[in-house]
Structure 1
Amino acid sequence: MSKTVADVMTADPMTIDASQPVSVAARIMSDEDTGAVIITNDGVIAGIVTDRDIAVRIVAEDKGPETPVRDACSDDLVTVGPDTSIEQVVQLMRSKAVRRMPVVENDRAVGIVSIGDLAIDRDAGSALADISAAEGNR
């Protein structure tokens, strides 16, 4: 089993500037088969937006696809460093009720860790690990 977030994270996560429209974030998610994109301001991490954020905060509120992604992103950002222990990230995810966490070093996103990544590492035979490792829906 892995010891730190660096061992399980997805490196080089997709990012988008906060001023870009949500349609660009949605296109990135579709093209890259991911459920989250990290939001930046001048390259510095400023938030994270998920497919659910777009559905709930934009589509359900009848806002258009040109709405800046900053209007959809989570504003209570919780991050970890690559050297954070797996136990620490699990506790943070539980206490903050989040499924994905940006991995940050020097204010820059270097990765993203998800509950699926942790499931694959901790219990590769679990249903969540199987689902997380499967090819995405298209």
Structure 2
Amino acid sequence: MKVSEAMTRDVRVANPDEAIQFVAKIMAGLDIGALPVGENDRLVGMITDRDIAIRGIAEGKGPDAKVSEVMTSDVQYCYDDQEIDEVTENMADIQVRRLPVINRDKRLVGILSLADIALTGDGQAGEALSGISRPGGEHSQTI
């Protein structure tokens, strides 16, 4: 199955100049934990609720801090024409629960989450989750 068959297409995109409080309200309203960040029709980052908490609030930044100050700019992504099993394996390896989806013209066309993968019913989400949940990743809190 291709990523395009499972991904969420209707994706809200944050702007790097928006305030983190504004983006946090959008996340709360949509009941999501991450948004792609785009500028000039290009994907430039991802912002998560964790970024806001750890790189924002914990670092003393206020609600008016810009998304660009706390977002992850080293964005991992997948292509809409990739196979789900390949992407799921990659998600486990890099320990992420969601990936922005771009087309071959590098335009954002959706987002793929573990929930999207679980809805395919092929068992791939469980495999990804076991890899994502292993201790010691880039964002690990263990010392």
CA distance in 1, matches of 2:14, 2:75: 16
SS for the counterpart of 1:101 is strand
SS state of the match for residue 113, structure 1? strand
Corresponding residue number in structure 2 for 1:33: 31
The TM-score, its normalising length taken from structure 1, stands at 0.82
- Structure 1: where are the runs of 5+ without partners? 127-138
Deviations 1:81-131 (A, max 9, x none): 1111011111211121111100012232110001222123234xx7xxxxx
| One of 48, 57, 60 as aligned partner of 2:58 | 60
Following superposition, the deviation at residue 78 of structure 1 comes to: 0.9
Match in the other structure for 1:120? 119
Uncovered stretches (5+) of structure 2, i.e. residues with no partner: 127-143
More strand by proportion, 1 or 2?
1
CA contact (8 A) 1:12 1:109 kept: no
1:7 aligns with 2:2: no
Preserved CA contact (<8 Å) 1:17 1:42 = no
How many pairs align?
123
The one of 89, 95, 117 aligned to 1:97: 95
Q: Which residue of 1 aligns with 2:110?
A: 111
Does the residue aligned with 1:10 lie in a helix, a strand or coil?
A: coil
